[in-house]
Amino acid sequence: MPEAGLIVQISGLLPALSPAEQRVARLVVADPADAARRTITDLATAAETSEATVIRFCRSVGLEGYPQLRIRLAAEAARRVEPVDARVVGGDIPPGADFAQIIATIAFNDARAVEETAQQLDPEVCEAVVEALNAASRIEIYGAGASGFVASDFQQKLHRIGRTAYYWPDVHSALTSAALLGRGDVAIGISHTGTTGDVLDVLEVARSRGATTVALTNFPRSPIADVADHVLTTAARETTYRSGATASRLAQLTVVDCLFVGVAARNRAKARKALEVTAEAVRSRRVTRRRG
């Protein structure tokens, strides 16, 4: 399990690192294979810092020392070659890209985000969250902007299998509702950056009421972690141009889905029944053949 996604892990930790360490991190992420070839002095020079900082960086990402970093980087770099045409991959969309390229690039990034998220997702934390969700008499989910879609999606899913779940698009309603939570209830905050003030506020209120708080973010060391009992992380390295952060959204949805399945699995019969009933409810709105 400590094998998974070092590069991804580094990108996630990046904002939490000190400036000098960030310079090192960026070099490493930009070209892992190259970094693996360099000696510590060499890398330090390239990052315009001292060897000491490079070692600190290694420790920051949970490694013993520099040789370990080199080896892990070499391994990762080797793994990540192949499937797709590397020219397009792992970066911004080049200006002259034709549509086939665009599709390949986006799909690659998206699929990667999903896979890497799964790799680094901690099953034990998931289990704890599912446990809490199962025990909760009320579940509240918060998310602003793009993360709001995910929050809403989760709410809908839980509702469909008969759990009491709310999503409040608006901060004031959210705060009011959070204030009414109690011990045993669960509040989930979704924020890609982990710095969305509104979401933090709501989680804080929920926590003060004794509710179990859960954060879903790309950056495990961001402020949202401080107000959460459980932190679940996604692993999306967004490219600059890709506005809406679709990759991160997909990663979030994947995590939400895992939680959902976990909850549903606790009571398969009941959940299955509920799903069938709700599916039946919309069936009348389906058309089976073309109309005149």
Span 172-231, contacts to DNA by CB under 7 A: none
Give CA–CA dist 51/32, Å, rounded. 18
Residue 28 or 144: the one with the smaller Cβ distance to DNA is: 28
Q: Which stretch binds DNA (CB under 7 A): 40-48, 89-97, 166-174, 233-241?
A: 40-48
For residue 3, the one-letter residue type is E
Q: Indicate the DSSP class of residue 90.
A: S
Residue 20 or 88: the one with the smaller Cβ distance to DNA is: 20
Retrieve residue 17's tokens.
Answer: 């690192």
Q: What is the signed CA dihedral for 63, 66, 71, 75, rounded to 10 degrees? A: 60
Q: Select the residue interacting with DNA from 15, 26, 34, 50 (CB under 7 A).
A: 50
CB contact at 8 A, 60 and 10: no
Q: Nearest approach, Cβ of 223 to DNA (angstroms)?
A: 14
Site membership for a second copy, residue 175 (CB under 8 A): no
From the list 133, 118, 122, the residue with the least C-alpha distance to 232 is: 122
Cα 241–chain centre separation: 19
Q: Select the residue interacting with a second copy from 52, 135, 180, 261 (CB under 8 A).
A: 261
Q: Site size for a second copy, by CB under 8 A?
A: 86
Backbone angles phi, psi at 147, to 5 degrees: -65, -20
Q: Select the residue interacting with DNA from 31, 62, 67, 257 (CB under 7 A).
A: 67
Give the contact letters, 16-35, x = binds to DNA (CB under 7 A), - = no. --xxxx--------------
- The binding site for DNA (CB under 7 A) comprises 18-21, 39-41, 48-53, 55-56, 58, 64-67, 70
